[in-house]
Structure 1
Amino acid sequence: MTVPPLLALMGFVLVATLSPGGATTLATASGANFGLRRSLPLIAGIAMGLASMAAAAAAGLAGLLLAAPALQVALKASGTAYLLWLAWQVGRRSAPRGPGGGARPQSFVDGLWMLWHNPKGWAMTMGAAASFAGLAEGPARLGLLLGAAFGVSAALSLSLWCCAGLVLGRSLRTTAQWRILNAALGSLLALSVLPIWL
Structure 2
Amino acid sequence: MLTIIFSMLVFALVGAISPGPVNIVATGAGANYGFRGALPHVMGATLSYTLIVFLVGIGLNQLLAQVPEFASILQYLGSAFLLWMAWKIATAKPESLQGETPSLPPKMLEGALCQGLNPKAWLVSMSGVSLFVSTQQPAALFLMIFCAVSFAMCFIGVGSWALLGQVISRYLSNPTRQVMFNRIMAALLATSILTIINV
**Counterpart AA for 1:180:** M
Q: Deviations over 1:128-183 (max 9, x none)?
A: 01111234513x33332222111111111222111110111111232111110000
Aligned position for 1:166: 166
Q: TM-score, normalised by structure 2?
A: 0.93
Aligned position for 1:137: 138
CA RMSD of aligned residues (A): 1.5
Q: TM-score, normalised by structure 1?
A: 0.93
Q: More deviation in 76-85 or 149-158? A: 149-158
Q: More deviation in 22-31 or 101-110? A: 101-110
**1:76 correspondence with 2:75:** yes
**8 Å CA contact 1:58, 1:142 repeated in 2:** no
User: In the aligned structure 1, how far is the partner of 2:57 from the partner of 2:96?
Assistant: 44
Unaligned runs of 5+ in 2: none
- Shift of residue 97, structure 1, vs aligned partner: 3.0
Tell me the matched-pair count. Answer: 196
User: In the aligned structure 2, how far is the partner of 1:95 from the partner of 1:182?
Assistant: 9
Aligned position for 2:119: 119
Q: Deviations over 1:51-104 (max 9, x none)?
A: 110111111111111221211110011000000000000111121231377110
**Counterpart AA for 1:143:** L
**8 Å CA contact 2:34, 2:163 repeated in 1:** yes
- Shift of residue 196, structure 1, vs aligned partner: 2.0
- Shift of residue 48, structure 1, vs aligned partner: 0.2
User: In the aligned structure 1, how far is the partner of 2:73 from the partner of 2:167?
Assistant: 38
Identical amino acids, percent of aligned pairs: 27
**Counterpart AA for 2:116:** W
Unaligned runs of 5+ in 1: none
